[in-house]
Amino acid sequence: MKQSGWRLPDILAILNGLPHGVALLDHEARLLGMNHALERLTGYPAAQVQGVAADAVLCSHLSHRNPLYRQATESGGPVASEGDLVGASRKKIPVRLTVSPVGNGEGNAPGLLVVVEDLSLFRALEKERGGGLEVKGIIGHSPRLQEVLDFVPVLAHTDATVLLTGETGTGKDLFAEAIHHASRRAGAPFIKVNCGALPENLLESELFGHARGAFTGAHADKPGMFRLAQGGTIFLTEIGDLPLPLQVKLLTVLDDRAFYPLGSSKRVQVDVRVVAGTHRNLKELVVQGKFRQDLFFRLNVLNVHLPPLRERDGDVAFLADHFLQQFAVGQRKAIGGFSAKALARLTAYGYPGNVRELRNIVEYAVSVCRGGEILPEHLPEYMGRTQALSPLSSSTAVPASGPATALAGEASWQGAEKRLIMEALLRSKGNRGEAARELGWGRSTLWRKMKQHGLG
């Protein structure tokens, strides 16, 4: 086959010397040819599939109906995506696809150059480096995230207390569970307790249990979460909201590995690893007298900060594609991907709610989309009205499902949070349960914050 200015056989002869699979497509995404490496990867001879639609030979990512090709054409530069290639053997091979537009030098409709990198060995090495560890639910390939994930095996091979910090929605609970499953305690329970979800008296009983008759309604002994986590790991999320009296009791547990259940004189010994998490700045809380300094030092033996989504280069597009596939399958919709403008809006946004907010946005877009592609009008309106947003303080974060527009124009986080609560209560017509769910909080957290802002 001959094109003005170059001959396909000559180009393929050059491409045959490359270690990666390479395909040449015409402007309708049909295969013009592929090199020997791609023949071996797919199991198809190039002569047999010449002129066939690329998605029938490689994978659906390469269909001309998919925005991957359109994005490369419109941007005039390379577009990358990761997925599974299913060749003649029907075996899934993890690959990275890099798609670039190519012309014939005369201004005619461009074709497509596709480089297919086999990631099988890379995935195997990743597992070997992590001792076979797979961090379930934590998705991304940015250098910032990989630095954190590389630390999991180190944390897993010690029983030292871990403090996970990071904004709301960055995945602290997933990271804590990954540490547990990679440790020698993996066969024992992993227990998660939200320290800001219950009033003080109920939280003490939840953590340490109570004896029969300890208070009205205590008709039987209750073991508590520390005893249920025996031999395993307990994850204390939102540790910054732990009341001061319980901070003293937690400090005793960390030092002595023992405690007294509420209303009991019998000392209980436990073997439990403690992992704590917070989106708040504990050092500032110590200065304010709201958090014990000795407990902070005891928790902060190993500190890991999870980066916000806005600092994870390239992960927004990767995660958006992952969530799109997830929700499209769940809702039985044939949605190929995002338009170039929709993807540009997604990547420009600041995500104060981080990964959780991105997931909610994609779920919303899939729900309202009636075509085969996510367009800008399918995204929440506030993303188009506001500039990229980020939390106003390193010690706070916007609730993932709350209206991001409430932050616009506010001079402080306190003002923004108060406005978030007021708007949620207005939309729920005063129903605190509905308002708490919308804001991503427990009812007790909403009640406490309403009192703080003089709304209770």
Instruction: Give the pLDDT confidence score for residue 440 in this predicted structure.
Output: 64
The greatest distance separating any two alpha carbons of the chain, rounded to the nearest whole angstrom, comes to 91
- Pick the range with the lowest mean pLDDT from 157-166, 263-272, 417-426: 417-426
Out of 143-157, 374-388, 429-443, the most confident range is: 143-157
Element (H, E) at 451: helix 443-452
Instruction: Give the pLDDT confidence score for residue 133 in this predicted structure.
Output: 41
Q: pLDDT at residue 34 above 70?
A: yes
Q: pLDDT at residue 157 above 50?
A: yes
Instruction: Give the pLDDT confidence score for residue 59 in this predicted structure.
Output: 64
Instruction: Give the pLDDT confidence score for residue 456 in this predicted structure.
Output: 62
DSSP 310: G
Which residues, listed in sequence order, are joined to residue 94 by a DSSP beta bridge?
84
Instruction: Give the pLDDT confidence score for residue 68 in this predicted structure.
Output: 64
Higher pLDDT, 57 or 134: 57
Instruction: Give the pLDDT confidence score for residue 404 in this predicted structure.
Output: 37
Owner of token pair 């700045």: 281
Q: pLDDT at residue 256 above 50?
A: yes
Instruction: Give the pLDDT confidence score for residue 431 in this predicted structure.
Output: 82
Percent of the chain with pLDDT over 70: 80
Percent of the chain with pLDDT over 90: 27
Q: pLDDT at residue 389 above 90?
A: no
Out of 41-45, 121-125, 230-234, 400-404, the most confident range is: 230-234
Three-state secondary structure readout of 324-349: HHHHHHHCCCCCCEECHHHHHHHHHC
C-alpha to C-alpha distance for 397 and 406, rounded to whole angstroms: 13
Q: pLDDT at residue 356 above 80?
A: yes
Burial class (CB within 10 angstroms; exposed 0-12, middle 13-18, buried 19+) of 391: buried
Which residues, listed in sequence order, are joined to residue 113 by a DSSP beta bridge?
24, 100
Half-sphere exposure of 322 (CA within 13 A, CB side): 15
Residue 401's pLDDT band (cuts 50, 70, 90)? very low
Instruction: Give the pLDDT confidence score for residue 118 in this predicted structure.
Output: 77
Q: Average pLDDT of 108-132?
A: 63
Higher pLDDT, 292 or 142: 292
C-alpha to C-alpha distance for 204 and 216, rounded to whole angstroms: 15
C-alpha to C-alpha distance for 203 and 208, rounded to whole angstroms: 8
Instruction: Give the pLDDT confidence score for residue 201 in this predicted structure.
Output: 80
Higher pLDDT, 112 or 89: 112
Spatial CA neighbour of 25 closest among 60, 67, 55: 55
Instruction: Give the pLDDT confidence score for residue 226 in this predicted structure.
Output: 92
Residue 412's pLDDT band (cuts 50, 70, 90)? very low
Instruction: Give the pLDDT confidence score for residue 109 in this predicted structure.
Output: 54
Q: How does 293-317 read in b/e, with b if 16+ C-beta sit within 10 Å?
A: eebbebbeebebebbbbbebeebbb
Q: What stretches of 43-185 show up as alpha helix (H) in DSSP?
A: 46-49, 54-57, 67-75, 120-129, 143-149, 152-156, 172-182
3-class state of residue 67 by DSSP: helix
Instruction: Give the pLDDT confidence score for residue 253 in this predicted structure.
Output: 92
Residue 250's pLDDT band (cuts 50, 70, 90)? very high
Q: How far is C-alpha 93 from the geometric centre of its chain's CA atoms?
A: 24
Render pLDDT for 342-351 as a digit per residue (tens, 0 to 9).
999 998 888 9
Q: pLDDT at residue 395 above 80?
A: no
